[in-house]
Amino acid sequence: MALIAVGIPPGIEAQGIGNPLVPVGRFRLEINPIFNFADYRFGERLEGGTLVQEEEALGFDFVDAAVGTRMFPTLEALEASLATAIGAPVTPSVIGVAGMVITENTVWVPIRLDVGVLEWLTVGGLVPLSQRGKEVAASFGDAGANMGLTPSGLAGDFLGALQVAQLDLTGRVQALCSAGPTSPECTAASDLVTESQEFQDALRDAYSSHGVFPLDGSQTGVALQSRLAALLAAHQSAGVTSFPIGIPLATATLSQDDYKGLVTTPGYGVGGFPLETWNSRWRLGDVELYANARLLESERSRDGAEPAPRIAYIFGAGALVRLGTGQTDHPDNFFDRGSGDGQTDIEMSVFGSVSGSRWGMRGDVRYGIQTSTLVLRRVAVPDQAFPGASTRDVVRWTPGSYMRIWVAPQFYINDELGLTLDVRRYSKGSDTYEPGPGGGTTGLDPNDLELETAQTALEVGGGVVYTTLRGVRGSPLEAWFIYRRAVSGSGGRTPKISHLEFGLRLFGGLWN
């Protein structure tokens, strides 16, 4: 489950700077590498019942001054076992202090091919490739810990002694109850068998599957010793002398490697990827197929090196299908958001441009409906850093519909070289999750996955454009360099991304 960030559908970022249409019989090949960087997000959280919306570091959910059940929900089972063993509520588990710094680095390389099939119609396709990475610097300290490393060897001997005492007690009960089935001694010994078995089972669960146990001298450790002393006295009163006199408690706090091991060791309940810098291989994203149609156009004169001084404009509409060819994020990788959504999007758009001899304005509006698909997710609320492996479930995911508005004013220094602004606003509705076929086995509510999935982001940037299409000199090509950064946003997990974009368009003839 990717708990770091959700993002815009792969491919919608790479829209280029020029006319979506190509003359009939011609083709246009575009390569548009985009480098994305982020170490903050537009976060939101509840503090004292008040919603706080502010920028947060990407590692915010992995930072805690008292690491316990919020970061490791699997420790709730440990606390439940300890409470059963003690016979009373226990103090919250704290294993130490954790920090994390995360930087997201992603490279997208969309490769686009457009073909003019009619004077007014262009069809094309886009194949996006990506390499995604996270630089992860995790830190851990044992300050404030009341939990330490499970004393595994001593625990095994102790549990064995409890089992011996339980067998001795069972034999004692048989003797007492044979002599007097209704005697107080028989009743007390029978109740003690049930009580000590419950104590033994609870401790076996607590010792075996979490990697941590109450420290010697902690409040919970003292309560366990007191409970053991009470049971020891009860066993001795029943004539059983084999009951152990001391319970093994943790004596060593966790090191940073031990802390990381809680995440990666399958037996401890999480079974996630290592807390280390991670880089993917190059992966295919969600392939796009589309068509763009001209609805209105005012032709620009091209009878000389200088364009005519009148205003030219173009207006059109498009339709796109984004296929689910990308790879979704792995449920055991807490940092990746995949090379694609793995489902189909249907997108409609309108586009237009207006230009004079030394200026221009381009833009479009895109609206997309995203269809559902089955995915494997860890069902948890967003701030649970390391939900247990038992929360993995098949769910039906329907990403929210989205809209993007793009405006790019341009000023040309000469026929070939110009400056451009780049302003984009993106918004997306909340995702929906439902149990999928074969899912629903965790007993958890998949609606928890819907939290913080709605998004808005406003990005502003600018750059340099070069084109030979405005004049008559040189081979037809376009090139551009643009830097763009998110300046505002909302949603909780919306990354504050910086984009560095390069683009090159080459043109050629097919039958015209």
In tens, the pLDDT along 141-179 reads 999 999 999 998 899 999 999 999 999 999 988 988 888
> Can you tell me the distance from the alpha carbon of 409 to that of 420, in angstroms, rounded to the nearest whole number?
6
Strand (E) or helix (H) holding 348: strand 345-355
Q: What's the Cα-to-Cα distance from 473 to each of 24, 25, 305, 310, 476, rounded to whole Å?
A: 21, 21, 7, 21, 9
Mean pLDDT of 245-267: 95
| Residue 474 pLDDT exceeds 70 | no
pLDDT at 9: 56
> Can you tell me the distance from the alpha carbon of 486 to that of 180, in angstroms, rounded to the nearest whole number?
81
pLDDT more than 90, % of the chain: 78
**Strand (E) positions, 399-497?**
402-412, 417-428, 432-435, 455-467, 477-490, 494-495
Mean pLDDT of 430-446: 86
CA dihedral (436, 441, 447, 449) positive or negative: negative
Q: At what angle do helices 75-86 and 184-208 cross, to 10 degrees?
A: 160
Rg (CA), the chain: 32
> Can you tell me the distance from the alpha carbon of 496 to that of 484, in angstroms, rounded to the nearest whole number?
11
| Lowest-pLDDT range of 17-21, 373-377, 443-447 | 17-21
For the stretch 325-370, pLDDT in tens is 999 989 999 988 888 989 999 999 999 999 888 899 999 999 999 9
> Can you tell me the distance from the alpha carbon of 109 to that of 132, in angstroms, rounded to the nearest whole number?
11
Q: Pick 26-143+264-509's CATH classification: 3.40.50.150, 3.40.50.11540, 3.30.420.40, 2.40.160.40.
A: 2.40.160.40
Domain boundaries, the chain: 26-143+264-509, 147-252
For the stretch 364-381, pLDDT in tens is 999 999 999 999 999 999
Q: What's the Cα-to-Cα distance from 446 to each of 110, 338, 361, 492, rounded to whole Å?
A: 33, 20, 45, 18
| Residue 253 pLDDT exceeds 50 | yes
pLDDT at 19: 82
Helices (H), 293-443: none
pLDDT at 299: 63
> Can you tell me the distance from the alpha carbon of 67 to that of 157, in angstroms, rounded to the nearest whole number?
30
Contacts of 3 (CB under 8 A, 6+ apart): 61, 334, 382, 384, 385, 493
| Lowest-pLDDT range of 48-62, 321-335, 429-443 | 429-443
Token output for 352: 């237009």
Across the chain, mean pLDDT equals: 91
> Can you tell me the distance from the alpha carbon of 341 to that of 321, in angstroms, rounded to the nearest whole number?
13
> Can you tell me the distance from the alpha carbon of 60 to that of 441, in angstroms, rounded to the nearest whole number?
30
Which pLDDT band, with edges at 50, 70 and 90, does 255 fall under? very high
pLDDT at 495: 94
- Name which of 116, 108, 101 is nearest 62 in CA terms: 101
Region at 125 (left for phi over 0; alpha for psi -120 to 50; beta for the rest): beta
